[in-house]
Amino acid sequence: MKKSTAILFMISIVSLAAGQERLSKEDTEKYARLCVEGFGKPLDAQIETQGDATRAVAVRGEGGGAMVIPDKDLTADKLAKVGKNVVPIGQLWLRKWVPVADSKPVAANKNRIVTVKADGKDRPMPVLLLGIRKEGTEHELIVYAKDVDPVLILPLKKVEFVQEIPIDLEWERGEKNIDKLTMTVLGKFRTIVPVTRE
């Protein structure tokens, strides 16, 4: 009897911990709407993205959090037709994290910072614009920050499974203060975006 109770308790703890890593759909959509509205349509955006707040995903990790907002036009058909030109797939918002390029945090003046008013506070956050292109036979995730050139170009690994949401996101603690955001696009492609604490 005691053993069963202990097992149930451990399952509850594990479930609770897992639940704390991902924001609820309701909270995610609320924050995603504020982010989409705050971002607007900047003239200096390298690619045009139209965020779909209803299909956003947000995760919390050690010292920060991240939210990916897929593009409204992201579909499997569109993904299948990707060529040399960058096709927008969405936006990645970071809270108290910054992207890592060449094993170093991207400098503050290189990040595109958007201040969003949430929960009665002004919250400055780096936002990254995401696109996919095909280089030869391989696909790449193109990540734009503030500059014209991409801040990251990441190889995409082909995967094949059914995915209910357009872009899924998972956080994992890494080494040397560089954590991993695993991003999976439509159950077809996967890559890891490196991030670190501000």
Q: What is the pLDDT of residues 24-35, one digit of tens each?
A: 999 999 999 999
Tokens representing residue 5 in the block: 């109770």
Q: Are 127 and 37 in contact (CB under 8 A)?
A: no
pLDDT in tens, 126-179: 999 999 999 999 999 999 999 999 999 999 999 999 999 999 999 999 888 899
Predicted local distance difference test score (pLDDT) of residue 68: 98
Which pLDDT score is estimated for 9?
Answer: 35
Total domain count, the chain:
1
List, for residues 47-62, the tens digit of each pLDDT value: 999 999 999 999 999 8
Q: β-pairing, 167-175 with 178-185?
A: antiparallel
Look at residue 10 and tell me if it is in a domain: no
Range of the domain at 149: 22-197
- Element containing residue 39 per DSSP (H, E): helix 25-39
Residue 29 lies in a domain: yes
Q: Is residue 2 part of a domain?
A: no
Return d(Cα 115, Cα 97) in angstroms, integer. 14
Retrieve residue 39's tokens.
């971002």
Contact 180, 172 (CB under 8 A): yes
To the nearest whole number, what is the mean pLDDT of the chain?
A: 89
pTM of the model: 0.88
Q: Look up residue 121 and give its amino acid.
A: K
The H or E element containing residue 2 is: helix 2-21
Q: Looking at the domain assignment, is residue 8 inside a domain?
A: no
